[in-house]
Structure 1
Amino acid sequence: MATFDPSWLEILRCPLAVQDKSKTDPGRLELVREYWLYCAESGYKYPIRSGIPVMLIEEGAKWKDVALDQLPTPPPEK
């Protein structure tokens, strides 16, 4: 199984939160539970599958109301 390269956190941003141009650096993400990218601004959580982050707004929205400690690891395939 491929793993996520944490150096990507320097360039990846939440596609929902980045739309807020009033902030200096909107949409920053943090790696949680090895398999998830979390945006504190939007609350969206994006799964990492086979080492590749799924950065679709629709995907992040599915997991918004799930507590960080309740996110499945690894994430389901769909």
Structure 2
Amino acid sequence: MISPELLEILRCPHCVSGPTRKEGPDPGRLQLVREAWLVCLEPDCGRKYPIRDGIPVMLIEEGDKWRDTPVDALPVPPPAA
């Protein structure tokens, strides 16, 4: 489970870094979905980051894998290898 305090500080790494940084005072906010995914709230992002063994996998490449998957179709993330 992700604590509310951690959720408050985590941001989508794609939306807060370098040339892909979104405008605004607080870009890349994330929403916790089914205690298993962090979904970027930026309208044009769509990245979704799995939570494996209680640890968010905040790699842009991981978020990219799930961009086109609707939130209600996200699987339960498998445990970390």
Instruction: Place the TM-score, normalised by the shorter chain, in its bin.
Output: 0.7 to 0.9
Unaligned runs of at least 5 residues, structure 1: none
How far 1:49 moved relative to its partner? 0.5
From 56, 60, 64, the counterpart of 1:61? 64
From 9, 12, 29, the counterpart of 1:11? 9
Q: What SS does the aligned partner of 2:51 have?
A: strand
Which residue matches 1:72?
Answer: 75
Aligned length, in residue pairs: 75
> How far apart are the structure 1 equivalents of 2:58 and 2:74?
16
Of structures 1 and 2, the one with the larger relative CO (CA 8 A, separation 6+) is 1
Unaligned runs of at least 5 residues, structure 2: none
> How far apart are the structure 2 equivalents of 1:21 and 1:47?
22
TM-score, normalised to structure 1's length?
A: 0.86
Which residue matches 1:33?
Answer: 34
Q: What SS does the aligned partner of 2:38 have?
A: strand
How far 1:54 moved relative to its partner? 0.2
Which of structure 1's runs of 4+ aligned residues deviate more than 3 A? none
Tell me the percent identity.
63
1:10-45 CA distance string (max 9 Å, x none): 110000011325211000001012100000211100
Does 2:44 align with 1:48? no
